[in-house]
Amino acid sequence: MPCGDLQEPGPLQGRTEVTVCARAGVMLKTMTLQGFTGQQPAPGALDLPRSPQKLPFTSEAESEASMSEASSEDLVPPLEADEAPDRDEGEAAKKKKKSKGLANMFSVFTKGRKKKSQPSSAETEGDSESQPGPAGRLPTVEELKADLEHGRLEAAGPLLALERELQAAMAAGGVSEEELLRRQSKVEALYVLLRDQVLGLLRRPLEAAPERLRQALAVLAEQEREDRAAAAAGPGPSALAATRPRRWLQLWRRGVAQAAEERLGQRPAAAAEGRTEAERAFLHMGRTMKEDLEAVVERLKPLFPAEFAVVAAYAESYHEHFAAQLADLAQFELSERDTYVLLVWVQNLYPNDVINSPKLAGELQGVGLGSLLSPEQIRLLEATFLSNQVASVKELTARALELESQRWTQDVAPQRLDGRCHSELAIDIIQIISQGQAKAESITLDLGAQMKHLLLVELAAFLNSYQRAFDEFLERSKQLRNYRANVIANINNCLSFRMFVDQKWQTPQDIPSHLLSPLDELKSHGVDTLLQSLFGALKPLFKRFTQTRWAAPAQTLEEIISVVGERLPEFSELQDCFREELMEVVHLHLVKEYIVRLSKRRLVLKTAEQQQQLAGHILANAELIQRFCTQNGSPATWLHRALPMLAEIIRLQDPSAIKIEVATCAAWYPDFSKGHLSAILAIKGNLTNSESRGIRSILDIHTGAREPSKSLFSLVKVG
């Protein structure tokens, strides 16, 4: 249709046309275009659970204002009524025929979208003559407005055709600028209604019927194509105001971001007792984001065009708001618990339970959401967390030791567990250390490795404090009734600590020697305390050996063994391993004291027969000691050779043979010195001084120890 026909004023334009045109221009600049430049917030995001809140798109009142004076005459080209006197009737009829072109163009859009092979406007005009009636009638502005207000998105087609016809009229020329702007204002007012309908549906997509949602998405996709086409064509001289790109897709994404903010910003419901406000907020945001994104994947992704990237749009919006909330929170001084919870969410729960959850992992793999906090913020929070944990472990272990010490001094009897004296101290300390380690590992394994070394230092410090407190108890509380039971309970604690260390630091090189030394000292001091009264009772019996000049060594030793046997039940409440260690101490004490009596230099035997008789007694006594101690659990097999070797030195008469036996003894017991040898040789009254010196000289030769040496002869003092 020639656009020049739109230039002449028609019979329906007699109502102050200049005023209408001016008003149309003002509406276009002050209202209509502003809504399409992306300056207003737009809807388009998921809303779960739904609330009746409406996003601030251009209001319906605004649309009504723009459409208040709209009529079919405003959008339809004016009819030719007053022809010039010099024109003939044929030309007037021709022009009247052409005025139906825009109406016929609308009839095309009521039948379907116009394809590239569709006829031109001139061809459509010719066809319209043969299609009179309602099907070819141009929808009036009131009809388009009513359709849009009732949510009939089919009106988008005729509206787009009207926009194109307006562009064609401008390109053809012959229509005044005021007239073009007036018509454009009506087009844009209708677009405001269409935009509100489309984005309103996308504002709460899960509430819309799938077919309605598809219609809205189709309109949005078509508007995006028109925006791209306009951008590709580039700006040109035009009397019309630039209305593209309309950026509806951008407005939809902005609405998604706004919905994410609303959803994550809702106050969480009343939480379980014991959770902090920050913890409730993290839980609410994480759970909401996961559930909402799963709904997007399951229900919206199948409906949305792939180019809209609906899952990425929602995920990015939710991620950005979640990250912003956490970044703001990280600026404040957080409590110990909130620091931990924040790190758990940032480093563990969010990436593993939300982003990489079974339903979302495949969808979000290529989105690249990243971390909720920057690396610098994470490092600072981790340093704070480690410092908090070390301080907490130090405080809790000190408190546990203080409470345990009070039980000792208050003479509170320890618990019995499976017939053993039991203390809860080791369990308390192990739980404190393990919980600190577990909390760090629940954030990241790397942080757990850092915490492990710090806790090792704290455990060593605690064990030193434990040993000092126990030693103080041993010295000051001997008169208490439950003294021995508490000593046994604390010795048993060493087993729990040792097992914990062995399991926590599994390889020997990971266990510093200083870590276990306080336990060894504590156990040793406790065992010595338990055996102190027994060894005191044995002392006068051992003196009989020298007092009777070894006249009846068998009877004396049997009495000693009898006393030890009677006292062993006192140690039954020790753990089995410690009872064996205690028996090894008893075994060592019996052998050592026997050697002490042999080394007193009060017995001198000048004949070989006397020396052989004494050697026989020593061998018999050594066998009795070995059998008794072994039967009662002593693992000290390293003590078995000591007394028989001394008996052999006493029995032998040939200096060369004696030297060989001395060398063998020194190999088994590196602390066997010349002083000890001299004390034994003093029994052999038939050796000359030169022979004695020759025998002692064999110890000047290093024979090398056959196994890791333990102290025996060094415990025997000789003059």
Same domain, 458 and 495: yes
The residue out of 350, 373, 396 marking a domain boundary is 373
Out of 325, 349, 373, a domain closes at 373
The pLDDT value recorded for residue 81 is 32
Q: What is the pLDDT of residue 511?
A: 63
Nearest residue to 490 (alpha-carbon basis) of 590, 415, 387:
415
* d(C-alpha 42, C-alpha 35), whole Å: 10
Q: Which residue has the higher pLDDT, 627 or 111?
A: 627
Residues 477 and 581 in one domain: no
CB neighbour burial string for 304-321, b if at least 16 within 10 angstroms, e if fewer: beeebbbbbbbbbbbbeb
Q: What pLDDT is stored for residue 281 in this prediction? A: 87
Q: What is the pLDDT of residue 276?
A: 83
pLDDT at position 628 is: 97
| Same domain (yes/no): 570, 686 | yes
Same domain, 442 and 496: yes
Q: Report the CATH number that the domain containing residue 555 is assigned in CATH.
A: 1.10.357
C-alpha–C-alpha distance, residues 645 and 622, integer Å: 10
Domain count, the chain: 4
Domain span holding position 348: 275-373
Domain membership flag for residue 118: no
Domain-embedded: residue 614? yes
In-domain check, residue 626:
yes
Q: What is the pLDDT of residues 519-545, one digit of tens each?
A: 999 999 999 999 999 999 999 999 999
Taking residues 652-668, report their average pLDDT: 94
Pick from 157, 79, 165, 90: nearest CA to 124: 165
Structure-token match 């949602």, residue found: 213
Could you give the count of Cα atoms lying within 13 Å of 691 in the half-sphere of its Cβ?
13
Q: Is residue 189 part of a domain?
A: yes
Question: What tokens does 38 get?
Answer: 């992306």
Q: What is the CATH number of the domain that holds 505?
A: 1.10.357.50
> Regarding predicted confidence, which is higher, 75 or 402?
402
Q: How confident is the model at residue 646 (pLDDT cuts 50, 70, 90)?
A: very high
What single-letter DSSP state applies at residue 300?
I
pLDDT at residue 46 above 70?
Answer: no
Pair (281, 353) in one structural domain: yes
Please indicate, yes or no, whether residues 521 and 408 belong to a single structural domain of this protein. yes
In this structure, are 146 and 224 located in the same domain?
Answer: yes
Half-sphere exposure of 344 (CA within 13 A, CB side): 16
659, 649, 642, 666: which is closest to 592 by C-alpha? 642
| Beta strand 415-417 pairing with 420-422 | antiparallel
Higher pLDDT, 129 or 497: 497
* Tens of pLDDT, residues 442-471: 999 999 999 999 999 999 999 999 999 999
pLDDT band per the 50, 70, 90 thresholds, residue 507? low
Q: Average the pLDDT over 222-241 and give the result.
A: 83
- Contact between 675 and 713 under an 8 Å Cβ cutoff? The reply is no
Instruction: Identify whether 567 is part of a domain.
Output: yes
Q: pLDDT-derived band of residue 707, with 50, 70 and 90 as boundaries?
A: low
Which of the four pLDDT bands, split at 50, 70 and 90, describes residue 576? Answer: very high
* Residue 129: pLDDT over 60: no
Token reading at 686: 């038939």
Same domain, 395 and 505: yes
From 90-104, 298-312, 326-340, 601-615, the region with the lowest mean pLDDT: 90-104
Strand partners, 421: 416
443, 388 in Cβ contact below 8 A?
no
Asked, as a colleague might, if the bond just before 540 is cis with ω within 30 of 0, I would say no
Span 253-276, average pLDDT: 82
What integer pLDDT is reported at residue 56 of this predicted model? 30
Percent of the chain with pLDDT over 90: 59
Closest CA to 648 of 670, 674, 622, 627: 622
Mean of pLDDT over the chain: 80
Residues 282 and 181 placed together within one structural domain of the fold: no
With bands split at pLDDT 50, 70 and 90, how would you rate the model's confidence at 508?
low
Answer yes or no: do 363 and 465 share one domain. no
Decide which of 509 and 276 is more confident. Answer: 276
563 with 703, same domain: the answer is yes
Residue 661 domain-assigned? yes
Q: Rounded distance, CA 43 to CA 202, Å?
A: 7
Model pLDDT for residues 274-291, shown as the tens digit of each residue: 688 888 888 899 999 999
Residue 323 lies inside a defined structural domain of this protein: yes
Residue 348 per-residue DSSP state:
I
Structural domain contains residue 316: yes
End residue of a domain, out of 467, 492, 525: 525
pLDDT in tens, 149-194: 888 999 899 999 888 888 888 888 888 888 888 888 998 999 999 9
Mean pLDDT calculated for residue range 689-703 = 88
452 and 341 housed in the same domain: no
